[in-house]
Structure 1
Amino acid sequence: MSVIVVGGGLAGLSAAHTLLERGANVVLLDKQGFMGGNSTKATSGINGAGTQTQQEAGIPDSAKTFFDDTKKSARELARDDLIRVLTGRSGDAVNWLQDKFGLDLSKVARLGGHSQPRTHRGNAQFPGMVITYAQMERLEDLAVSDPNRVKILKKARVTKLLKEGDAVIGVEYTQGGKTQTLHGPVILATGGYAADFSEDSLLKKHRPEYYNLPTTNGDHCTGDGHKMAMLAGANGIDMEKVQVHPTGLVDPNEPEAKVKFLAAEALRGVGGLLLDKHGKRFVDELQHRDYVTGKIWENGQFPIRLVLNGRASKEIEWHCKHYVGRGLMKRFENGDALAKEFGLEPAVLKKTFEDYNQSVRTQKDPFGKKFFSGEWSYDDFFHVAIMTPVLHYTMGGLEIDDESRVLGAGGKPIPGLFASGEVAGGVHGANRLGGSSLLGCVVFGRVSGDSAAKYLLMSASEAITKAGGRLGQISGQVSGAAAPASTPAPAAPSSQAAGKAGTYSSDEVAKHKSKDDCWVIVDGQVLDVTSFLPDHPGGEKAILLYAGRDATEEFNMLHDPKVIPRYAPDSVIGTLKK
């Protein structure tokens, strides 16, 4: 029998790898055609206390300090048992990622609400993408090399949890127009509901005042796991606790777009300032997310801009370059150009900078800021982007215990059902700290994997005992329906793509720049990505921005060259004429 993991984001992937480490078999189902989920969009990093990176940097952090920071953020909804797991296993989670997957997490920053720098990332690329891709590629390789142990089903939408008495014994799912079943214990890692604009929207039910806000979430975040589990008897807790992130990037060309790209909290962590339309500060930029969001709304002087000086820009140069490339951020070479962008006299910004410098020098800030990153100069270069609050994360979800077991009537675990990641409620209380989303996925992904493997072993032992040791019978009783074949990761372009190969000029490619006919150029290859748009984890807009033109620089900033032959071989239709 295999453990069924529902969801191919970082929580599901971490659970799958842990199950394999414990000797269990895995079937992973993901309703998208390309795994990764929102985990690939995480831009600030992953928290960890007491890590090797911190020790080498001389940062005096500890699990206790991290626990205290998290409990303060969670406020009245703090669950000490879950926070203790999250923070106590945080250092081990970061070390696991570095040791098992060879990841670079050598840089550490302090985000809002943290008393120590503990948010880890590498020197390039978004950390969520790097971490998730490393696990995703490893699992897909295993699905090819050891298909008896690992099966991956993409575009497989789980619609129902199967029960026998009180226990969950499998799932019903649809794939390719067919309805099928799988049997085994289930780990739900289906994400949140901050893009649930469906008819039975959990967002509209629990926070109707947020329903019309823009979101950072992909359209797959519709609370599927919550709805299925609650129909099966699971408890939902804190469902009204929906986090509105203060810094969603406003695209000047599409200011009303429903889906926004998130401005990494690390931008404020390295010293970025939030200024209103008058060029004035109005908040401690490193306060908790809900506090900063509240101050933005209270201040009401839009547009709100996030401004980075030269030092901050260099510290997080890759992010700035990426945002500029997407048209979401601008660079200004001096203070006068920045003042012109605001429509203000230079003296206004000079005073804002001098007031801030006074806070740096005295360590007394009118907005309560405690951690500074040096003084500002008007004679500097700057990166600037317009900000708006956006739906980001749902703290509410399925009630779990400290073993990731989903709880039902009377607070008792539902046998055979586990949850990890954003679908699990109570981990972050009333407000989540930046950098703890990826951490929650890894920590509780690993905890759920441990618990499900233990449950599977106990179930097999009980079945053997009841059957009086007739192992042949047990094989049939435990295995249930045979798992379907996996969807292996292709290693090279298909014959279909090869058959369409041709050469195209830049002018020819430029004719294909709509959502219904989208071509791009990457490293001299011409790709027809029209059919791939809905499957792209970064959303359609990330590709459409480069429709009809060369996307090589942006693509190579984010992806390894093997991404195209592995995930989109049929998109390659030829080469660019020289």
Structure 2
Amino acid sequence: MAQVIVVGGGLAGLSAAHTVLERGGNVLVLDKQPFMGGNSTKATSGINGAGTQPQQDAGIADSARIFFEDTKKSARELARDDLIQVLTGRSADAVHWLQSKFGLDLTKVARLGGHSQPRTHRGGAQFPGMVITYAQLERLEDLSVSDPERVKVIKKARVTKLVKDSSGAVVGVEYECGGKTETAYGPVILATGGYAADFTGDSLLKKYRPEYYELPTTNGEHSTGDGHKLALSIGASAIDLEKVQVHPTGLVDPKEPDAKVKFLAAEALRGVGGLLLDNTGKRFVDELQHRDYVTGKMWENGKYPIRLVLNGKASKDIEWHCKHYVGRGLMKRFDSGEALAKEFGLAPEVLRKTFEDYNVSVRTQKDPFGKKFFQGEWKFDDFFHVAVMTPVLHYTMGGLEIDAESRIIDQSGKPIPGLFAAGEVAGGVHGANRLGGSSLLGCVVFGRVSGDSASAYLLQATSAAVQKAGGRLSALAGHISGSTAASTPDSAAAAPVGKSASGEYTLADVAKHNKKDDIWVVIDGQVLDVTKFLPDHPGGEKAIILYAGRDATEEFNMLHDPKVIPRYAPDAVIGKVKA
């Protein structure tokens, strides 16, 4: 079976895989995690698109050209016009593809920092990154069951080597899975993410930005630059590896203020009108400036804690996010300006003046910090949502050098045959600074570009092999005609049927199992022992531990489809709650 190999199961890899399938190809997806999705599932603001139908419906006059200029301005001196052209020129198509192919709601459009127009799309509920990624993931896993000859998914598969032929073309990968080393053949798309959690012995983060090494991160522990290191080891060229984005708004958990991994406060919170206030209750920055600028102003100001405050209107506009953050103990709600002032430890008159000064800016459209886009005036007699912020490692703009066809470039400036990249592993797309909402976009756009390019390469190689028996491409065709050397227990197969109930438990029984090494939760009346599942949870251990020994139904249903438990954790179900 001729196939394209996709390394990485985040949104970029999934978009690449679906594109290969659309082009009539076969695909093998290898992911080192027990559950796919990667950091894409954590994206909280949305996906950019210029000239989309939702924009037109909302009367927003935007275009790919305007988006190009905004992105180039953000990228500054490192702007790659060819890559920016692809990103912005195919942005509307990416949004429409997600809507039409996966039936996604992306009708809400917001303006994030650095954008001259509202163009960041999301739906009415849940984090858009999770919704977009899971829609693609579930479709691909369903196909791996219904059409296993075309789609293979292998999890807990760590790729350790790119296999080349005598001419230097990449013809496959070696990977470790289930204690064995296996080989798979075909052109390769690397979609392994970034290195903003690379605290390993050969850390790219420490090598290129040592001053950032001790900062907290929003990235999962899998973000260790694996794809970068694989490609660099065979002569690939890297670009802008020192360009690491420090996002200004990581949420500080009052219970664990020094935690290395932080949850991100969506930039959309500022997009709907949230304000950043220092410990004196004053503004110090245009909240909608570029991320690196806002981070720099936070460090320059230095009056901690710095809080993000949403008024009633902003809270309603992004209600689901607020509810989620409050549920995780990362945000608080206050029902009056007086209560908010007490939280700051300030006299009410101080915050009242901050709001009055801001309202002058709204009315005059002249802001002392240069803000240009406002969401209305603030009232002191209102309700508010508040969270403490800290800068966090978030995104690596640098990565493997690619061309406009997603082909990875070698150190002589030529494409490496059979090797492609998509998503955060690909450098140069965002220059010196990434705009909010362009991470998911980059995954979808370059996932689709890489899928197109790899499919075309596979077709050309196979056709040429038929005509040139004995040549290099003939050898490649022999390689790519093979499937994986052996199937593994982690390959995608029919999801096991959920375990039948083995008993009934009271909520008091469940409450006794509230420790990390013995943790039960209740979801929709089912009792789950999630002790063994804990380290594999894509959202991290803390998200489950927070509900140890409790009913987690509301929080679970906010984030997950009902199919998640029978598909990913059927053995965790041990019984049901007594009536």
TM-score with structure 2 setting the length: 0.97
Q: 1: CA distance between counterparts of 2:381 and 2:443?
A: 43
Structure 2 residue corresponding to 1:444, chosen from 443, 446, 466: 446
The equivalent of 2:123 in structure 1 is: 122
Moved more, 522-531 or 375-384: 522-531
The equivalent of 2:570 in structure 1 is: 569
Residue 509 of structure 1: how far off its partner (Å): 1.2
Structure 2 residue corresponding to 1:488, chosen from 488, 492, 495: 492
Moved more, 506-515 or 9-18: 506-515
For the 8 Å contact 2:461–2:476, the answer to whether it is kept is no
Residue 425 of structure 1: how far off its partner (Å): 0.3
Residue 474 of structure 1: how far off its partner (Å): 9.4
Q: 1:449 and 1:475, CA in 2 relative to 1: closer, same or farther beyond 3 A?
A: closer
Q: For residues 118-172 of structure 1, what are the alpha-carbon distances to aligned partners after superposition, in whole Å with 9 as ceiling and x for unaligned?
A: 0000000000000000000000000000000000000101111111131111111
RMSD of aligned alpha carbons? 1.6
Q: For residues 16-55 of structure 1, what are the alpha-carbon distances to aligned partners after superposition, in whole Å with 9 as ceiling and x for unaligned?
A: 0000000110000000111100000000000000000001
Residue 490 of structure 1: how far off its partner (Å): 4.6
Q: For residues 311-365 of structure 1, what are the alpha-carbon distances to aligned partners after superposition, in whole Å with 9 as ceiling and x for unaligned?
A: 0000000000000000000000000000000000000000000000000000000
Q: 2: CA distance between counterparts of 1:279 and 1:131?
A: 37
Residue 547 of structure 1: how far off its partner (Å): 1.1
Q: 1:482 and 1:298, CA in 2 relative to 1: closer, same or farther beyond 3 A?
A: closer
Q: Secondary structure at the match of 1:172?
A: strand
Q: Secondary structure at the match of 1:411?
A: coil
Residue 544 of structure 1: how far off its partner (Å): 1.0
The equivalent of 1:220 in structure 2 is: 222
Please say if 1:202 is aligned against 2:204: yes
Q: 1: CA distance between counterparts of 2:141 and 2:377?
A: 48
The equivalent of 2:69 in structure 1 is: 68
Please say if 1:532 is aligned against 2:533: yes
The equivalent of 1:313 in structure 2 is: 315
Q: For residues 442-487 of structure 1, what are the alpha-carbon distances to aligned partners after superposition, in whole Å with 9 as ceiling and x for unaligned?
A: 0000000000000000100111011299xx9997554145454472
Q: 1: CA distance between counterparts of 2:336 and 2:496?
A: 48
The equivalent of 1:520 in structure 2 is: 521
Q: Output the amino acid matched with 2:103.
A: G
Q: 1: CA distance between counterparts of 2:126 and 2:101?
A: 19
The equivalent of 1:270 in structure 2 is: 272
Q: 2: CA distance between counterparts of 1:144 and 1:260?
A: 36
| Structural mapping, 1:27-426, within 5 Å | 27-164=28-165, 165-426=167-428
Q: 1:468 and 1:417, CA in 2 relative to 1: closer, same or farther beyond 3 A?
A: closer
Q: 2: CA distance between counterparts of 1:478 and 1:179?
A: 18
Q: 1: CA distance between counterparts of 2:294 and 2:470?
A: 63
Q: 2: CA distance between counterparts of 1:144 and 1:483?
A: 19
Residue 377 of structure 1: how far off its partner (Å): 0.3
The percent identity for this pair of structures is: 79
For the 8 Å contact 1:103–1:131, the answer to whether it is kept is yes
Q: For residues 381-402 of structure 1, what are the alpha-carbon distances to aligned partners after superposition, in whole Å with 9 as ceiling and x for unaligned?
A: 0000000000000000000000
Q: 2: CA distance between counterparts of 1:409 and 1:461?
A: 29
For the 8 Å contact 2:273–2:375, the answer to whether it is kept is yes
Q: 1: CA distance between counterparts of 2:492 and 2:229?
A: 30
For the 8 Å contact 2:171–2:480, the answer to whether it is kept is no
Q: 1:206 and 1:478, CA in 2 relative to 1: closer, same or farther beyond 3 A?
A: closer
Q: Output the amino acid matched with 2:146.
A: S
For the 8 Å contact 2:122–2:128, the answer to whether it is kept is yes
The equivalent of 2:509 in structure 1 is: 508
Q: Output the amino acid matched with 1:488.
A: A
Q: 2: CA distance between counterparts of 1:173 and 1:136?
A: 21
Q: Secondary structure at the match of 2:412?
A: helix
Moved more, 483-492 or 521-530: 483-492
For the 8 Å contact 2:11–2:440, the answer to whether it is kept is yes
For the 8 Å contact 1:191–1:221, the answer to whether it is kept is yes
For the 8 Å contact 2:3–2:480, the answer to whether it is kept is no
Q: May I ask how many residue pairs the two structures share in their alignment?
A: 574
Residue 93 of structure 1: how far off its partner (Å): 0.2
Residue 493 of structure 1: how far off its partner (Å): 3.3
Q: Output the amino acid matched with 2:262.
A: K
Q: 2: CA distance between counterparts of 1:474 and 1:170?
A: 9
Q: Output the amino acid matched with 1:324.
A: V
Q: 2: CA distance between counterparts of 1:112 and 1:420?
A: 24
Q: Output the amino acid matched with 2:56.
A: Q
For the 8 Å contact 1:331–1:381, the answer to whether it is kept is yes
Q: For residues 270-295 of structure 1, what are the alpha-carbon distances to aligned partners after superposition, in whole Å with 9 as ceiling and x for unaligned?
A: 00000000000000000000000000
For the 8 Å contact 2:462–2:477, the answer to whether it is kept is no
For the 8 Å contact 2:247–2:292, the answer to whether it is kept is yes
Q: For residues 514-559 of structure 1, what are the alpha-carbon distances to aligned partners after superposition, in whole Å with 9 as ceiling and x for unaligned?
A: 2222211100001111222222221111111111111000001111
The equivalent of 1:21 in structure 2 is: 22
